[in-house]
Amino acid sequence: MGYMIWQAIKKTAIDVWDEILFLIFFNIIWLAGSLLILPLPFVTFALLAVVYDIGQSKGIHFSTFFRHGWRALKQAYIWGGINLGVFILLWVNYRFYGGIEASWGPSAQAVIIGVIVIWSILQLIALAMYPRMSAPGFKLAMRNAAVVMARYPLVILTLLGVIVLIGVISFFFLPMLLVSFSLIALLTNRLVEAMISRELKRETKG
């Protein structure tokens, strides 16, 4: 398992080295889209599709990002709408339990924070599933993501740790923001690739 994780990290580093200028450009577009909120599903799906192309050693151009975004427009906004509803529901519950004076109120809030973290990682893995599916859809992407998360908890914890590390570095060293989400997307893509490859080998042996 450790070797698989190390290989994914090494491949991610090579991806960054090979496509750093494109990754910075796409990352800036993603940051702008996230600040504007409405384009967030579009730019998120576009970025995850681009890093999948990089992982497949396909040539990319500036137009590749937008082409992927338009191609996945319907799936992107279905995903975005569902997640908006989920996060609103979780936030309302968090505020509700925060207003309760009972001693178990903070514990309930901690549980909700845990659910938010798990749901967020699940979404990241699901996003990396979309470019790999012949008939992409929210339910199938979620099912596949849940399966690999359950079977490879160490890989998921590694991804979470790297995300936290990138977040901390970005907080103290702002230029890191220029490539932060691209790095997360690249590593997620490589880890998902490794987990799927191992699952396919297991099915072949079975």
Residue 66, token pair as written in the block: 């937008």
**pLDDT tens string 162-200:** 999 999 999 999 999 999 999 999 999 999 999 999 888
pLDDT score for 206: 59
State how far Cα 192 lies from the chain centre. Answer: 10
Percent of the chain with pLDDT over 70: 100
Place of tokens 């967030």: 40
pTM as predicted: 0.94
What number is the average pLDDT over the span 23-36? 96
Q: What angle do CA 134, 41, 126 make, to 5 degrees?
A: 45
DSSP secondary structure, 7-56, as one string = HHHHHHHHHHHHHHHHHHHHHHHHHHHHHHSTTHHHHHHHHHHHHHHHHT
**pLDDT tens string 13-29:** 999 999 999 999 999 99
Domain that holds residue 24: 2-205
Spatial contact of 31 and 177, defined as CB atoms under 8 Å apart: yes
Domain count, the chain: 1
